[in-house]
Amino acid sequence: MKKLLSIILLTTIAIGSLTAKEIKGTVKDTEGKGVAGVVVSDGLNTVATDSKGRFKIDADQDSRFVFVSTPSGYISSTLGGKTLFYKEIKDEVRKYDFIIEKNSKDDTNHNVIVIADPQISERSELADLAKQSEDMAEFVGGMDGDYTFGICLGDIVGWDHSIYPDYNRIMSKAGIDYRYVIGNHDMTNYGRSHETSLTNYEDMFGPCWYSFNVGKVHYIVLNDNFFLGRDWYYIGYLDERQLAWLENDLSYVPKGSKVVVSMHIPTTLDKSDRDAFSYDVIVDNLCNKTAFYDMLKPYEALILSGHMHTGNNQIIADNLMEHNVTGLCGAWWCGPVCCDGAPVGYKIYEIDGDDIRWQYKSSGLPLDHQFKFYVNDALYEGYVVANVWDYDPQWKVEYFEDGVKVCDMERFKGQDPFAVECYKDPSTLKRSWVWALPTENLFRAKHSPDAKVLEVRVTDRFGRTFVETFNR
């Protein structure tokens, strides 16, 4: 019996050593002082550092990284455009020490540059990316001096992961430290399973899900691309391991806090996909969104997503909104606008304490370029039409003739005339599958044949007004 018990005990220990191993370490500032209360994770389990900055964690066998949720008032070191908040777990290593640097700026007020889908598919497109990087550098240089960082919402490249170093080199010239999200194109989508699809991205950018803090805002990055193990097929889905980690991570965040979640595939594009499930759209929105939304209910939350290359803002609940950000590559680097007519560009978020404001920035154009105005276009004869690409229901779109308001313009779904013109002939494009897509951000009003000055006036949710006129 003793011998049997010994065998059972040894077997239990051996199995335990396969499922978890204790790792420990410290989180210190640049002066060598331990930083208390820093959350450390292996991608499943979470712990907080003690008063001397020390931590211990039973790392799961499936965990590749240990990482810190960088606390407010601090920044993690960067190298070559990457933020180094993580270390790879190795069999022979038990101790992992992190150094975080006190932010030289008060990050209570800060700015975030958000880009989506650079999707560099060939090295010839790096020159176009450089122009975008230069525009960001110029814009950030003219901002108010608050701490500024960036978030890229995935599809960094278009399948060729060897382009990652060139991408990092160019984007580092923007002078912005970026945090990264994995996109479906950043996975290796020709392996045998989802789990094996993440390696190339992780080799370059580290964990596919993590969190960090800036000022009063808790930022979360998730991977909602789920590879199905056949060809390049995937769906929008958050696996249980991430959801369990997210629960653990949010347990350190006070209820009512501002939370910004970044992911690649949108959770929703329309109220219809929130009301009923459809197999037809699971590559374009999150299958298990209901469970995810429930986890965000205690917080004031904003979701940032990419993937679609078009703009779409959805108010999901009183405490929850999603911004689906247009692609930095526009129509896959085939022209100056996205397929919905939105100019190539990025979004700027200005955070003042726990107040968040945002605005779209068209690359190479002034900040007040917030819509495009068409009069009597062949697609919409007899109408004034405006494409308000960053629209949400709290915006106002008005039409005036000769200085007198005629009406609030009618929202409708259609194609942007300029996008139609840009992409009408696939034979002239380097990607023949690019064409103008319908957008719900169009507005129209019938115009009078006698009016001399036609004017569209757009007011965003923050009270900023933008005006364009057409003189006959």
- Per the structure, the count of domains in the chain is 3
Residues 171 and 245 in one domain: yes
Tokens of residue 308, six digits: 């679609």
Residues in the chain: 472
- Round to whole Å and give the CA distance between 401 and 398: 10
- 9 in a domain, yes or no? no
User: What's the pLDDT at 77?
Assistant: 79
User: Counting beta carbons within 10 angstroms of the beta carbon of residue 2, is it exposed (0 to 12), middle (13 to 18) or buried (19 or more)?
Assistant: exposed
- 163 in a domain, yes or no? yes
Which of 117, 112, 95, 124 has the alpha carbon at shortest distance from 24?
A: 95
Residues 216 and 323 in one domain: yes
User: What's the pLDDT at 116?
Assistant: 98
Beta strands 258-262; 300-305: pairing state: parallel
User: For residues 192 and 228, is the Cβ–Cβ distance under 8 A?
Assistant: no
Residues 357 and 342 in one domain: yes
Low-confidence spans in the chain with pLDDT less than 50? 1-18
CATH number at residue 41: 2.60.40.10
Residues 60 and 128 in one domain: no
- 98 in a domain, yes or no? yes
Residues 189 and 290 in one domain: yes
User: For residues 30 and 102, is the Cβ–Cβ distance under 8 A?
Assistant: yes
Q: How many other CB atoms are found less than 10 A from the CB of residue 367? A: 14
Which of 310, 332, 362 is the C-terminal boundary of a domain? Answer: 362
Tokens of residue 73, six digits: 């008032």
User: What's the pLDDT at 19?
Assistant: 60
User: For residues 23 and 57, is the Cβ–Cβ distance under 8 A?
Assistant: yes
- 15 in a domain, yes or no? no
Residues 334 and 388 in one domain: no
User: What's the pLDDT at 6?
Assistant: 45
Assign 42 to helix, strand or coil: coil
CATH number at residue 386: 2.60.40
Residues 167 and 40 in one domain: no
> For the chain, what is the total number of helices (H) and then of strands (E)?
8, 31
User: Counting beta carbons within 10 angstroms of the beta carbon of residue 188, is it exposed (0 to 12), middle (13 to 18) or buried (19 or more)?
Assistant: middle
Strand order in the sheet with 320-324: 210-214, 217-221, 258-262, 300-305, 320-324, 312-317
Which of 330, 362, 394 is the C-terminal boundary of a domain? Answer: 362
Residues 197 and 318 in one domain: yes
Residues 401 and 307 in one domain: no
Residues 355 and 380 in one domain: no
Distances, alpha carbon 203 to alpha carbons 52, 82, 91, 187, 266, in Å: 31, 12, 17, 11, 25
Count Cβ neighbours within 10 Å for each residue of 79-109 and write b for 16 or more, e otherwise: eebbbebbbebeeeeeebebbbeebeeebbb
Residues of the domain holding 393: 372-471
User: Whole-prediction pTM value?
Assistant: 0.94
- 205 in a domain, yes or no? yes
Tokens of residue 80, six digits: 């070559």
User: For residues 163 and 186, is the Cβ–Cβ distance under 8 A?
Assistant: no
Beta strands 147-152; 109-115: pairing state: parallel
- 207 in a domain, yes or no? yes
User: For residues 391 and 348, is the Cβ–Cβ distance under 8 A?
Assistant: no
Which of 102, 123, 149 is the C-terminal boundary of a domain? Answer: 102
- 6 in a domain, yes or no? no
Residues 427 and 350 in one domain: no
CATH number at residue 221: 3.60.21.10
Contacts within 8 Å (CB) and 24+ apart, 417-422: 417/341, 417/374, 417/377, 417/378, 417/379, 417/380, 417/385, 418/337, 418/341, 418/372, 418/374, 419/331, 419/337, 419/338, 419/339, 419/340, 419/341, 420/379, 422/331, 422/334, 422/335, 422/336, 422/337
- 30 in a domain, yes or no? yes
Residues 305 and 414 in one domain: no
User: What's the pLDDT at 5?
Assistant: 40
Beta strands 147-152; 178-180: pairing state: parallel
